[in-house]
C-alpha cells in the first residue's frame, strides 16, 4: 500500500471571479482547503493531486473487501435538495469505503416542508456532529452559502462543504471524474501518460448540447482548460449562455466537422427542469441537428472517446447504439466517480496518516 499521502490543501488557486463563477454568493468561502465549492479553486496542481490519489482508490475498489479505515470516526451527511441517483449514491459509497459514518438527508421528506429555514436545517444537522456536508441544490450558490453559515459558527475547523451540483453553476466532482476518466482511458487504450496533467494537454474536447443550463459544462470547461485542453462548445444559439465573455472556448454550430476532429465528444442532456421557456423548435429537430446519431458517430476518429454525465436520454442527445459502443466511456465515468470522490473526501477530511490496509 502507499506511504503517507500529501496533506497539502485541496484548494490551491484563487477564487475565480470571472463569468464562469457567476452565481457564487458574496459569502462564498475562501478556498482554504476546507471546502470544495468550485473546481476552479483547485488549479492544475490540485486536480492532479485528486487524480493521483484516485488511482490508489481504484485499486482499493477492486479488493474483495473494498474498504479502508482512513475516515473511521468521521461523519458525512449527504444533503440533497434536488433529485440525484448517481452523484448521491457515489458519494455515499465513497464515504462508506473510507469507513466514515454516513447520514442521508432528503429535502423532500424533511422539516423544510414544515417551514424550517434552510439555515436552521443546516445548523440542526451540524449540531449532531458532522464533519462534512455534501450539498446538492437547484439554486446556484447554496453550497457556498452553507459554507458561510458553518464558518459563522466560529469553530476553528468546522465541517467541510462539498458542492455536489448547484443549479446551473458548478459540479466540481463531475469535472474531476471526467478528467480522471479521460486520463485513465487514454492510458489504457493508447498507453500514454507522461505526467498526468499533460495527458489532457493539447486534446480537442467538444462539449455538445444544453450548455446554457449545465453546471457540468461550466465545471468541465474550467477543469479541461486548466489542464491545457482546447474546448469547443457545440449548441444551437439558444442553448448557449447569454454571454461567453471570459470562457476559454471556441463555439461551433457544425457538429459534423467538430465530431470528426475531436479526441473527446462530451454530450449533455437537454435540462428541461431548468428551462422556463421554449428553447428549441422540436426535440426531433434537435436530435437531427445536434445529436450524436449512429450515422454521425461514424465520423469519430479511431481513438475518440464519447462521454456523458448521465442521466442519458437514449435516442435524444445520443443514439442508444453509441452509448453501448466501444468509444463510449459512460460506465467508466460512473465507476471512476466513486474513487474520485473518495480522493476528495480523504484530502478534505483525512488526518494525513496512511490510508491503511
Ligand atoms: C447533473 O447533476 O448536472 C447531471 O450529472 C447532469 C444532468 O443532470 O444532466
pTM of the model: 0.89
Do 305 and 344 lie in a common domain?
no
Hey, which residues does 102 pair with through a beta bridge? Answer: 76
Find cell 454568493 and name the residue: 25
The atom number, within ligand 1, closest to the CA of 86 reads 5
Q: Is 209 close to ligand 1, i.e. is its CB under 6 Å away?
A: no
Confirm whether 132 is domain-assigned. Answer: yes
Share of the chain above pLDDT 70, in %: 86
Ligand 1 neighbour 347 (Cβ under 6 A) = no
Q: Is residue 184 part of a domain?
A: yes
Alpha-carbon Rg for the chain, nearest whole angstrom, is 20
Among 84-88, 132-136, 192-196, 338-342, the least confident range: 192-196
Together in a domain, 98 and 180: no
| Residue 313 burial by Cβ neighbours in a 10 Å radius (0-12, 13-18, 19+) | middle
Q: Is the pLDDT of residue 113 over 60?
A: yes
Calculate mean pLDDT across residues 30-34: 64
Q: Report the separation in Å between the CA atom of 353 and the middle of ligand 1, taken as the mean of its atom positions.
A: 34
Q: Same structural domain for residues 111 and 234?
A: no
Instruction: Output the domain CATH number for residue 192.
Output: 3.40.50.1370
Domain of 151 in residue numbering reads as 19-170+336-349
Q: Does any domain span residue 355?
A: no
> Over the stretch 210-251, which tens digit does the pLDDT of each residue have?
999 999 999 999 999 999 999 999 999 999 999 999 999 999
Q: Is 354 part of any domain?
A: no
Q: Is there a single domain that holds both residue 23 and residue 127?
A: yes
d(CA 205, CA 329): 14
140/190 Cα distance (integer angstroms):
38
User: What gap in Å lies between CA 300 and CA 256, rounded to an integer?
Assistant: 9
Whether residues 166 and 198 fall in one domain: no
Give 202's DSSP letter. T
- Cα distance between residue 134 and residue 78, in whole Å: 5
What is the whole-number distance in angstroms between the Cα of residue 84 and the centre of ligand 1? 8
Query: Does residue 177 sit in the same domain as residue 258?
Result: yes
Residue owning the nearest CA to atom 5 of ligand 1: 309
Nearest to 58 by CA among 338, 247, 354: 338
pLDDT tens figures, 178-219: 999 999 999 988 876 555 556 799 999 999 999 999 999 999
Kindly state whether residue 316 falls inside one of the protein's structural domains. Answer: yes
pLDDT at 19 over 60: no
Could you tell me the pLDDT band of residue 277, with boundaries at 50, 70 and 90?
A: confident
Atom of ligand 1 nearest to the CA of 136: 2
On whether residue 82 sits in a domain, the answer given is yes
What integer is the mean pLDDT of 166-187?
A: 96
211 is a domain residue: yes
Same-domain check for residues 207 and 315:
yes
Residue 129 lies in a domain: yes
The number of domains in the chain is 2
Amino acid at each position: 500500500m502507499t506511504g503517507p499521502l500529501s496533506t497539502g490543501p485541496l484548494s490551491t488557486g484563487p477564487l475565480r471571479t470571472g463569468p464562469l463563477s457567476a452565481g457564487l454568493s458574496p459569502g462564498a468561502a475562501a478556498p482554504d482547503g476546507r471546502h470544495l465549492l468550485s473546481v476552479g479553486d483547485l488549479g492544475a496542481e490540485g486536480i492532479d493531486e485528486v487524480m493521483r490519489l484516485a488511482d490508489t482508490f481504484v485499486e482499493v475498489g477492486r479488493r474483495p473487501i473494498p474498504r479502508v479505515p482512513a475516515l473511521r470516526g468521521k461523519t458525512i451527511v449527504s444533503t440533497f435538495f434536488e433529485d440525484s441517483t448517481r452523484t448521491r449514491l457515489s458519494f455515499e459509497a465513497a464515504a462508506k469505503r473510507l469507513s466514515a459514518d454516513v447520514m442521508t438527508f432528503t429535502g423532500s421528506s424533511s422539516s423544510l416542508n414544515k417551514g424550517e429555514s434552510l439555515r436552521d436545517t443546516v445548523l440542526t444537522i451540524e449540531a449532531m456532529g458532522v464533519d462534512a456536508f455534501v450539498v446538492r441544490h437547484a439554486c446556484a450558490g447554496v453550497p457556498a452559502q452553507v459554507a458561510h453559515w458553518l464558518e459563522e459558527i466560529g469553530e476553528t475547523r468546522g465541517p467541510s462543504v462539498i458542492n455536489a451540483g448547484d443549479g446551473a453553476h458548478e459540479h466540481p466532482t463531475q469535472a474531476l471524474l471526467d478528467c480522471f476518466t479521460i486520463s485513465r482511458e487514454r492510458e489504457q487504450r493508447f498507453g500514454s501518460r507522461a505526467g498526468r496533467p499533460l495527458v489532457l494537454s493539447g486534446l480537442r474536447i467538444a462539449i455538445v448540447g444544453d450548455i446554457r443550463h449545465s453546471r457540468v459544462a461550466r465545471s468541465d470547461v474550467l477543469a479541461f482548460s486548466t489542464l491545457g485542453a482546447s474546448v469547443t462548445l457545440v449548441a444551437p444559439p439558444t442553448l448557449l449562455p447569454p454571454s461567453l465573455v471570459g470562457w476559454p472556448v471556441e463555439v461551433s454550430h457544425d457538429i459534423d466537422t467538430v465530431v470528426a476532429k475531436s479526441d473527446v465528444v462530451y454530450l449533455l442532456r437537454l435540462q428541461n427542469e431548468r428551462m422556463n421557456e421554449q428553447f428549441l423548435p422540436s426535440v426531433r429537430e434537435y436530435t437531427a441537428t445536434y445529436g450524436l446519431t449512429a450515422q454521425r458517430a461514424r465520423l469519430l476518429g479511431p481513438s475518440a472517446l464519447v462521454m456523458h454525465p448521465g442521466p442519458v436520454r437514449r435516442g435524444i442527445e445520443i443514439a442508444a447504439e453509441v452509448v453501448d459502443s466501444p468509444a463510449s466511456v459512460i460506465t467508466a465515468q460512473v465507476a471512476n466517480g466513486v474513487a474520485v470522490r473518495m480522493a476528495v473526501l480523504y484530502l478534505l477530511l483525512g488526518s494525513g496518516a496512511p490510508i491503511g490496509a
